[in-house]
A and B are shown apart, each in its own frame.
Chain A
């Protein structure tokens, strides 16, 4: 093999503390190295041209570049090799910048280390093989999981881009949290006026299939060719027949069912349409409260329904959908404030959550948009808002900032003044975090134009006193204790990951952080991609996010899907495992350990053997270190390749140590 070595100065970044000429000289003495030189900027246009020239002139079979981290320029140089007609995997990089020149000042020691790293790379290169990617066709359908505003945006953008979209929503209607909001910051425009039309678009779009009351229960396949199992929960109503007329709701005698849409302020009928603008506008029966399903009596709705849509015997049903990409937009859940005993732990009727307050403010809410105390229906005069309930609090395991509570609290204080001009709002806060466009101005307006009194400090205690509540806290700016008598207390509950998020992540083979939020591929440069090819993220499932950012991510995820599907075929990464069928004894250990189920058992002339499914293998190599036979080898990181590096490093010292 003929190897060429190029040692980069990186201006003075490397040359400042490494004798690059000496490294190149030493490299020339290595076995199989026929050419070595130093170059000012290897990654620059002239630098790359120099490599191409040398490849042609010296007939090189492989190239080592000693420069920066491969995480930066490995793809660049692989392309360079390709331009010179070599296979792009006949390339190795020695990281002599991040791992050498930048972390040590001793030129001699650095140079020795750089020489070693080059020798290791060259040794590995002698075992490298040219690899070729396989191409496979993609199924240009996309599944969006979660029908909040992020999922809705992603679905509409994909559908408008000409893709077939399957939207899966866990609850009976799409809309997510935004559909429950009254007005939205920082423009105070009506939430359902901007979301409603989009929801209708989902229902009417010819390219979109909507599964409501459904969840993903299984996933097989890989980018371009996923098979997703969707479980559709029984609604006890035939949705093809139901017209959403609502007659059944009017007559249902069971009126104690949980009103989830109204955050359980009040109750609803056992058969119900979750809210008037629901999409799909279909009725479902709550089996816990239906008299027919629990006691075998009643059946009023069945008799009344003009289209005969009631099906008491309906069961959950599974559908399998084939798609090429998946957008996850499962949003967030709200912190359970009952964990704060000092705020009443959920026992005080007039200490409510911010989302419940949104419902009280909303004209379509349980009070018709009148702010009334849940306990006695009286209009409150003093309203206390407490921020950071389940945010920035290590003691409840939520050390992070939920991002949008400062803003929605300011919004709610503004709306309160609009509804009740005589009222006085107090806001207990830790810091005001309002970094969006027009956000800081907005929170100032709440204070200056709407007279909300902002008090910096945490509330230590709430206790009831004669039909009111005493809210006791500290004003850390004044350095005094404060007590306010409130008629209503609104807790700005923080965001946490959606229930079941880790379980879904495990099905989708994507990772999540310590709090259950999904992890993006790169926090800055790949914010909507996951490390599983073909699975993208949008909205608050990745971390707390307000509506503008969620919508932005929805569109970004759609753009990624459209880009993926713009080609008829996608290329696979050839750095995957390969089974040496002669060595494989068919024990199946690799099959058990592979986290991606990328290995299948096959029958080879009557004997069981392992076989890697190329398109699923992600190239982790766990199988390779598992196989007792050394039969399954991760290409480009084979045992021989890694041991070649070990040998170069240790041989020297072994000779010294060896008697």
Chain B
């Protein structure tokens, strides 16, 4: 079933204020229709996104997490997105170790002018999460283990 017709899933978006949040605004101003599953958390810079925010969201039951920032070299803070790229790339490799399907996490670069691109990113990712279906149920032990792991990592 396509994302639009299905029951909503829980998708968390972490967006930098300057580019991607602006891009999401531009998509809104352009009235580009998108699936409603995503909820956006605004941060100043993609470099502010601690990979643990992503892990925490997924462990807490999010079905998907999308991170988006300024295109590399376009960062408002000159190099925050380079830090982000490195961290998020490592995170992608690390998720399976936590027992999380890495396909539930994606990161992209969308600039403030790219409303159309934002629509595409959201639609594709949402569709993709719907194909994966709701995140698997978590049992108590796995949760406790994950929590301790996460706590240690902090």
Contacts and interface: CB of A to CB of B under 8 A. Distances in A.
A659 B29 CA distance: 42
A643 B28 contact: no
Contacts of A653: 10, 60-63, 135
Given A531-B76, A595-B80, A622-B80, A657 B36 contact: no
Interface string B133-154: 0111111100100000000001
B94 interface: no
A159 B25 CA distance: 41
Nearest to B54: A646
B137 A620 contact: no
B132 to A, nearest CB: 14
Contact of B44 (A95, A637, A643, A655): A637
A71 B17 contact: yes
A543 to B, nearest CB: 15
Contacts of A116: 39
A69 B28 contact: yes
B41 interface: yes
Residue of B29, B60, B87, B139 with most chain A CB atoms under a 10 A cut-off: B60
Nearest to B42: A70
A649 B62 contact: yes
A403 B43 CA distance: 37
Contacts of A104: 33-36
Contacts of A646: 12, 41, 53, 56-57, 60
A509 interface: yes
Contacts, number: 157
A69 B136 CA distance: 34
Given A98-B28, A653-B10, A659-B140, A643 B62 contact: no
Interface in B66-86: 73-80, 83
B80 to A, nearest CB: 5
Contacts of A70: 42
Contact of B43 (A106, A621, A659): A621
Interface string A579-593: 000000000000001
Nearest to B40: A99
B21 interface: yes
Contacts of B77: 595-596, 618, 620, 622
A596 B75 CA distance: 13
A588 B74 CA distance: 26
Interface residues of B, number: 56
B89 interface: no
A645 interface: yes
Contact of B154 (A102, A630, A645, A647): A630
A643 B43 CA distance: 12
Nearest to A103: B34
Interface in A604-648: 618-622, 624-626, 630, 634, 637, 639, 642-643, 645-647
A380 B36 CA distance: 69
Interface string A103-116: 11110011011001
Interface string A556-590: 00000000000000000001000000000000000
Interface string A500-527: 0000001001010010000000000000
A630 B24 CA distance: 30
The size bracket of the interface on A is 35 or more
B47 A650 contact: no
A310 interface: no
A650 B34 contact: no
A51 interface: no
Given A511-B78, A595-B80, A654-B60, A620 B21 contact: no
A104 B62 CA distance: 21
Interface string A63-99: 0000001110000000000000000000000010111
B31 interface: yes
Interface centre among A69, A98, A575 (most CB of B within 10 A): A98
Nearest to B12: A649
Contact of B61 (A102, A509, A642, A657): A657
A148 B63 CA distance: 56
A622 B83 contact: yes
B56 A643 contact: yes
A250 B20 CA distance: 62
B48 interface: yes
A646 B150 CA distance: 15
Contacts of A649: 10, 12, 39, 41, 57, 62
Given A622-B48, A650-B57, A658-B143, 7 more contacts: A69-B21, A99-B24, A103-B32, A618-B77, A621-B47, A649-B62, A653-B135
16 contacts: A98-B28, A103-B119, A104-B36, A113-B36, A506-B78, A511-B75, A621-B48, A643-B53, A647-B60, A649-B12, A650-B10, A650-B57, A650-B61, A651-B60, A653-B61, A658-B61
Closest 4 pairs (CB-CB, A-B): A98-B28, A621-B48, A650-B60, A654-B61
